[in-house]
Amino acid sequence: MADFTMFNANDTKGINQGLKILGYGEDGSGKSVFGLSFPDSAIIDAESKLGVYLKNPKYNKNIKAFACLTNYYDALDLLTKVISNTKSFKTFITDSETNVFEGMQVACMEVEEERAKKKIGANIDDQVVSMRGYGKIKLNNSRLKNAKAAASSKGVTIISIAQKDDIFQKIGENNVKVGEKPVLRKGCKHDYDVVLRFYKEKDIATGEFRYFSEVEKDTTETYPVGTKLEKASYENFKDYIESNRSGDTVDSDYSGAIDGNMATMAKEGQDFDTVSKEFVSLFQTLGKKDVKNKEIIAKLLKDNNIESYKNAETFDELKKVVTILKTM
């Protein structure tokens, strides 16, 4: 049973909560180096580029563990292990999360193709991700989002590195670039406390590149939106992160939320199946008893705003109708 954690506004310790940071941008703009500046990191290397940094003493001192993979389920499993071992890890990095996200989409597409192979006459080339497939993708994204929230609630800083897409707008006869976005699911920025857009500029005087990140979101109020940080690193958010580590850890159940919801929904689904089957049986029995009963039942459904007895959204209303039918 869920319960509140009592809060005292005069308690300066606050709670032990890690930041959730999204860094996205063009290739070679400093995203990976930013992540590697954070201490005691468990890293998922989804682009096979971590080896460049393993022998570099500037970065390898922060690496506690790493894994080379793109499989979504493996990534979720490793994040779960970090949640259960927060004494060893202060940071969890996925670089890049775009590869994990796209890998999950590819897997769903392949499932659709396999399903097509089993259908006589189905053209595999014509297959697209079905509503069921999109539902699975959405479910998996929610699982990963909740696991990140669970890790954050235990004091672990979450860093997601993502590739970028250009945003174009039709102006006159031309498509004009008006911005950039992370190559992740729609609305992903809402999941993070801090969002940084990485880019690089060539210094005209020296010919060398300078590396920047623009603050697009910062709920910590460390930096105003629009601030441009040069060579952003852990030092930019160190004070905020370290001050939170002295706080209390709050009990949370983010990672188990979906499984709990699924269990409840499964039970509700079974209950609905039982009631809908009962309705069909009563409809057939009463219809045979008196043909006018069908009209009465149709009116009952209409009066209770039930368009179809198969619609689970009107489950409660259908139960009322079934109760009435039992008395007829």
Sign of CA dihedral 45, 47, 53, 58: negative
Q: 101 phi and psi, to 5 degrees?
A: -65, -50
Contacts 24+ apart (CB under 8 A), 85-88: 86/151, 86/154, 86/155, 86/156, 88/40, 88/64
Considering only the C-alpha atoms of the chain, give the largest distance between any 2 of them, rounded to a whole number of Å.
94
pLDDT in tens, 292-326: 888 888 888 888 888 888 777 777 888 888 888 88
20-252 to CATH, choices 3.50.50.60, 3.40.50.2300, 3.40.50.300, 3.30.300.30: 3.40.50.300
Residue type for position 31: K
Sequence-separated (6 or more) residues with CB below 8 Å from residue 150: 83, 252, 253, 254, 255
pLDDT in tens, 112-166: 666 656 665 555 454 455 555 566 677 777 788 888 888 888 889 999 999 999 8
- How are beta strands 209-218 and 194-202 bridged, if at all? antiparallel
Domain map of the chain by residue range? 20-252, 259-325
First to last CA, the chain: 40
- DSSP type of residue 156: P
pLDDT at residue number 120: 53
- CA 310 to CA 224: how far, in whole Å? 51
- DSSP type of residue 55: T
User: Facing residues of 162 across strands?
Assistant: 24
Residues of the chain with confidence (pLDDT) below 70: 1-15, 108-136, 246-270
- CA 236 to CA 36: how far, in whole Å? 13
CA dihedral (72, 113, 139, 80) in degrees, to 10, reads -20
Nearest to 19 by CA among 100, 91, 95, 97: 91
- Measure Cα distances from 109 to 128, 138, 182, 183, 188 in Å: 7, 14, 21, 18, 21
pLDDT at residue number 265: 47
- pTM of the full structure: 0.70
